[in-house]
Amino acid sequence: QFPYIDFDEEIISARSGATEYYYNQAVELMKRNDKMAYREAWQSLARVKEYSGDYRDVNNLMDEARYKGISRALVSVDNHTIFNLPNEYKQQLLTVDPRGLDNAWVEFYYSDLDQNVYYDYFVVVNLRQIMVSPDQTTQKDTQHRKRIEDGFEYALDANGNVMKDSLGNDIKIPKYKTIFCTVIETLQQKSVNIQGDIEIFSDNPRRLLKREPIGAATTFEHRSARAVGDRAALDEEALKLVDIGPLPFPSDPEMIILTSDIFRKAIADALRKNRNYIQ
């Protein structure tokens, strides 16, 4: 029979010692007034809660370490082009998919609504150049032909008499003709290309950390056609096309707006690619 040993008192003493150790460690770390130290302090305070729950002012210290340990980055758009872009378009560009950006210690802001927030980083999306092509219209003609039945004629013998079949019926020979239709196809095209970059600045000290080029392009394209001649000569695809009429060309501002989804994705991709510059 083994003697009974009560470890409870030793366990309690060890937990108490660990609690005090991690608490004091966190307090010392927070005195450095450094983001990485605040994050490390938060981890130590989490150990304190794990060991002893609401030990002293651990909850308040955790809130403070959490708030002061977070890096905040403000993302904004700067328009350097000749186009006067509406604010709605700029805000649309900043509707960025946050996946892969925010984490436990980094937050991205896309509007400066709270004047009390201190930003550690500034991400500037610069629109440098917008090129919109003129309206372009090209035409091509395609001729369609089809051989179709066009009545009949009687089969005649050498004497010019109508020939009969075995049942005594007149023998008829189908007649054919070729019909024509010209499809005049119109292709409308207009394109826009936006070039820019994102710049990542730290605030303290204020310096440029990274510049990454970005761009987006899109094209308006519309096919329509009209038929000249006998539409019966057209195949199914051509018949569908000649039922489509031309469209008004988008305006230059409308073309720019069409790029918003593509450009927004380019912004998000550039942010993710350079995510390591924001700590």
- Tokens found for residue 19: 């609690």
- Return d(Cα 113, Cα 110) in angstroms, integer: 9
**In angstroms, what CA-CA distances link 256 with 14, 90, 203, 251?**
66, 11, 32, 9
**In angstroms, what CA-CA distances link 130 with 127, 219, 266?**
8, 14, 15
- Return d(Cα 175, Cα 81) in angstroms, integer: 68
Question: Is-contact 139 172, C-beta < 8 A?
Answer: no
Nearest CA-CA partner of 129 in 91, 85, 87: 85
The predicted pLDDT at position 14 comes to 53
| Exposure of 26 in the CB half-sphere (CA atoms within 13 A) | 29
Counting residues of the chain whose pLDDT is more than 70, the rounded percentage is: 94
The span from the first CA to the last CA of the chain, in angstroms, equals: 59
- pLDDT band for position 16 (50/70/90)? low
Q: What is the mean pLDDT of residues 190-219?
A: 96
- Tokens found for residue 96: 């960025």
- pLDDT tens digits, residue range 75-114? 999 999 999 998 889 889 998 877 778 788 999 998 877 7
Q: What is the mean pLDDT of residues 46-52?
A: 88
- Return d(Cα 133, Cα 209) in angstroms, integer: 35
- pLDDT band for position 7 (50/70/90)? very low
- pLDDT band for position 51 (50/70/90)? confident
Domain ranges of the chain: 8-69
- Decide if pLDDT at 255 tops 50: yes
- Decide if pLDDT at 2 tops 80: no
